[in-house]
Amino acid sequence: MYPFGLFGPEIIILIPAILFSMYAQGKVKTTFNKYLNVRSKSGYTGAEIAKYILDRNGLNDVRIEHVRGHLSDHYDPRKKVLRLSSQVYNGSSVASVGVAAHEVGHAIQHANGYYPLILRNNIAPIAGFGSRLAWPLVFIGLFIAPSFIKVGVILYAAVVAFQIITLPVEFNASNRALAQLENGLLSSSEIKPAKKVLNAAALTYVAATLVGIAQLIRLILLSNRED
């Protein structure tokens, strides 16, 4: 066994993914902040745009709530609640409108029975269980019982599966958002900035998936090393 267990040569696999993740986080922050200062011509807030799109698609049973946090926006399919952060809920910028429309895109997916979203929602409890237990089991395997590492790898694989399934869900929600915004809610000159915001946000999901895949490969190599 290498000293400190987890810090063998396999760790080099993580470096490119981590660097890309850092780039993605920086990209979404700078892009969002840039277009947060560009007011949409309509002057509507993110909450108002979200309500309009929901009504236009017959989703009158979806509530909109204001939540704390920065870019903490999300759609809760269990409660049919669209939660928007302060900058999005109250903001009338191109960035605010774009993010609000993206989250409504998830509500439209839910209403239409979009299969990748259903699959992701079904896997979510398993992935949550795996994210909590995978690493403790790996540590137990390294220092007490090596067989626990393989169990940790299996649980972490569920986390990675969830991340992979998340990608088409997020890209599809952005496409739905842009289709709605192009239909009279943003001018043609505002669509491109909104798309930049959504693409930057999507990049963070790609980065997280790449880190997850690299980490899984690393754990598999580590498991084989301990056999």
Percent with pLDDT over 90 in the chain: 78
Q: How far is CA 8 from CA 32, 130, 136, 182, 211, in A?
A: 38, 23, 18, 51, 17
Write down the pLDDT at residue 191. 96
Euclidean distance between the first and final Cα of the chain, in Å?
10
User: What is the rounded average pLDDT for all residues in the chain?
Assistant: 91
- Averaged pLDDT for residues 94-123: 96
Instruction: List residues with catalytic annotation.
Output: 103
Contact 86, 66 (CB under 8 A): yes
**Alpha carbon distance 186, 43 (integer Å):** 10
Under the banding of pLDDT at 50, 70 and 90, the label for residue 3 is very low
142-182: per-residue pLDDT in tens?
Answer: 777 778 888 999 999 999 999 999 999 999 999 999 999 99
**Alpha carbon distance 52, 41 (integer Å):** 16
7-45: per-residue pLDDT in tens?
Answer: 566 678 889 999 999 999 999 999 999 999 999 999 999
DSSP class of residue 186? S
Record the pTM: 0.89
Decide if pLDDT at 224 tops 80: no
